[in-house]
């Protein structure tokens, strides 16, 4: 053990128990379904004494925050850029409302996920916002423990097998905006390149693509749909997309599934001797600002309305206590478009009216 102060997480690992169990023992809070044998309790206390455990005063202060002032937020372990942007917006919204956030992470380890959620139940939370739930048994995990919290809200809850409340991103509207922009700029062979259609968000993007084409009097061509799973290496995937969509089927614009795909597409188009946006326009999805600006040319992108998402979560949390949250209350937030160099009008053509 290093000279750094030992944490409850360290004690849990050494005692081979969950962090929630350690918290219950050290804080003398044997409540609800928390049952700890005398042998386990003794082992935890011995480890704490051996390594000179001292409680985290900040955590104790958080546990002392009054009802309604502390909100739990869950993200994935890597904190994907989309969640980072929403976290910043949630923090800003919380500060404006004189609230505080406490952040936890979920990953592929089911036991760790359970322990994390159980540990959060020891805080005096007024509500929980779950940004990341794309892991095995997520639904069962929250169904079992939802009673531990006053309110649990999800980002994009539509993929859950039963009704839950939360905030939905209007992916279809985002893609419609991208297609409208490209059609107005003179593009007539607009393609879409994305992951499989198994997830609601991907289905919604495809629906928005079809609707955007129809609204601009463009005929849907199935050859301009390119779907590839995540496990294929990115460069190979985007090289195949350029070959299929542009070389073989003459796409003059591509809407990519995310910004990473959009930038990789531009690299492969350049390798193939094509100019962006003169020959092919490219639009990403998410608008990771620094990434999009650092690319050459700068990448246009559908942008998550992070401030709107944060506002919607807090508006749901502020619903009256008597309201039935089992009725799947949902707020849908529309994305925005950030136009940059990669989707300029076609050369020698006037934008369509």
Asked if residues 197 and 163 have their Cβ atoms less than 8 Å apart, the reply is no
Which single residue is written with the structure tokens 């993929």?
159
Higher pLDDT: 61 or 304? It is 304
Mean pLDDT of 279-301: 95
Is the bond preceding 106 in cis, omega lying within 30 degrees of 0? no
Residue 18: φ, ψ to 5°? -75, 155
Look at residue 250 and tell me whether its pLDDT is greater than 70. Answer: yes
Which single residue is written with the structure tokens 């082992």?
43
Residue 269: C-alpha distances to residues 266, 276, 342 (Å)? 5, 8, 12
pLDDT at 141: 78
Place 188 in a pLDDT band, splitting at 50, 70 and 90.
very high
| Structural element, H or E, at residue 132 | none
| pLDDT above 70 as % of the chain | 86
Considering only 84-88, 187-191, 261-265, 276-280, which range has the smallest mean pLDDT?
A: 84-88
Considering only 105-114, 257-266, 302-311, which range has the smallest mean pLDDT?
A: 105-114
Higher pLDDT: 349 or 123? It is 123
pLDDT at 264: 97
For the stretch 262-287, pLDDT in tens is 999 999 999 999 999 999 999 999 99
Q: Within the chain, where are the H helices? A: 8-15, 19-26, 38-50, 57-63, 81-96, 110-120, 138-145, 171-184, 200-215, 234-241, 259-271, 289-294, 306-317
Look at residue 166 and tell me whether its pLDDT is greater than 80. Answer: yes
Dmax (CA) for the chain in angstroms is 81
Angle, alpha carbons 135-256-332 (nearest 5°):
60
Residue 227: φ, ψ to 5°? -115, 130
For the stretch 17-72, pLDDT in tens is 877 788 778 766 544 445 678 888 888 888 888 887 766 545 555 555 545 588 99
pLDDT at 283: 98
Place 311 in a pLDDT band, splitting at 50, 70 and 90.
very high
User: How many CA atoms are closer than 13 Å to the CA of 26, on its beta-carbon side?
Assistant: 28
CATH topology of domain 171-303+336-343: Rossmann fold (3.40.50)
CATH topology of domain 1-55: 434 Repressor (Amino-terminal Domain) (1.10.260)
**Rounded to whole angstroms, how far apart are CA atoms 88 and 164?**
24
Name all contacts of 244-251 with Cβ < 8 Å and 24+ positions apart.
245/191, 245/193, 246/191, 246/272, 246/274, 246/280, 247/272, 248/223, 249/189, 249/191, 249/221, 249/223, 249/224, 250/189, 251/189, 251/190, 251/191, 251/224, 251/280
Mean pLDDT of 314-343: 84
Sequence-ordered list of residues with C-beta below 8 angstroms from that of 104, at least 6 positions apart, any chain: 72, 73, 74, 75, 116, 117, 119, 120
Place 351 in a pLDDT band, splitting at 50, 70 and 90.
very low
Mean pLDDT, the chain, as a whole number?
85
Which residue ranges make up each domain of the chain? 1-55, 171-303+336-343
User: DSSP string covering 325-343, please?
Assistant: GGG--EEEE--EEE--GGG
Rg (CA), the chain: 24
pLDDT at 32: 43
Asked if residues 153 and 183 have their Cβ atoms less than 8 Å apart, the reply is no
For the stretch 194-236, pLDDT in tens is 988 888 888 999 999 999 999 999 999 999 999 988 789 999 9
Which range has the top average pLDDT, 75-89, 104-118, 292-306, 321-335? 292-306
Residue 117 CB neighbour total at 10 angstroms:
24
Q: Give bridge partners of residue 302 from the DSSP assignment.
A: 285, 337
């Amino acid at each position: 053990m290093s000279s750094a102060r030992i944490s409850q997480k360290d004690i849990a690992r050494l005692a081979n128990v969950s962090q929630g169990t350690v918290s219950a023992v050290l804080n003398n809070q044997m409540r609800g379904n928390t049952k700890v044998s005398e042998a386990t309790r003794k082992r935890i206390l011995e480890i704490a004494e051996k390594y000179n455990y001292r409680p985290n005063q900040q955590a104790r202060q958080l546990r002392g925050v009054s009802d309604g002032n502390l909100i739990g937020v869950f993200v994935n372990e890597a904190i994907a850029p989309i969640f980072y942007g929403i976290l910043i917006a949630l923090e800003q919204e919380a500060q404006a409302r004189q609230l505080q956030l406490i952040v936890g992470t979920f990953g592929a380890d089911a036991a760790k996920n359970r322990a994390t959620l159980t540990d959060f139940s020891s805080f005096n939370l007024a509500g929980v916002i779950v940004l990341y739930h794309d892991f095995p048994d997520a639904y069962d995990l929250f169904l079992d423990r939802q009673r531990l919290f006053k309110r649990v809200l999800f980002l994009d809850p539509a993929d859950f097998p039963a009704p839950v409340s939360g905030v939905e991103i209007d992916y279809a509207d985002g893609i419609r905006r991208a297609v409208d922009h490209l059609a107005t700029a003179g593009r007539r062979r607009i393609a879409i390149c994305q992951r499989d259609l198994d997830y609601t968000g991907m289905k919604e993007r495809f629906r928005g693509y079809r609707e955007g084409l129809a609204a601009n009097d463009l005929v849907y061509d199935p050859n301009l749909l390119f779907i590839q799973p995540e496990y294929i290496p990115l460069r190979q995937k985007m090289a195949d997309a350029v070959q299929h969509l542009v070389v073989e089927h003459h796409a003059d614009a591509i809407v990519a599934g995310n910004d990473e795909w959009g930038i990789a597409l531009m690299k492969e188009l350049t390798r193939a001797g094509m100019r962006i946006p003169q020959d092919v326009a490219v639009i990403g999805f998410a608008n990771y600002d620094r990434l999009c600006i650092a690319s050459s040319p700068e990448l246009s992108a559908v942008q998550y309305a992070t401030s709107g998402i944060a506002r919607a979560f807090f508006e749901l949390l502020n619903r009256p206590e008597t309201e039935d949250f089992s009725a799947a209350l949902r707020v849908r937030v529309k994305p925005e478009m950030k136009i940059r160099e990669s989707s300029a009008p076609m050369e020698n053509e006037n934008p369509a009216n």
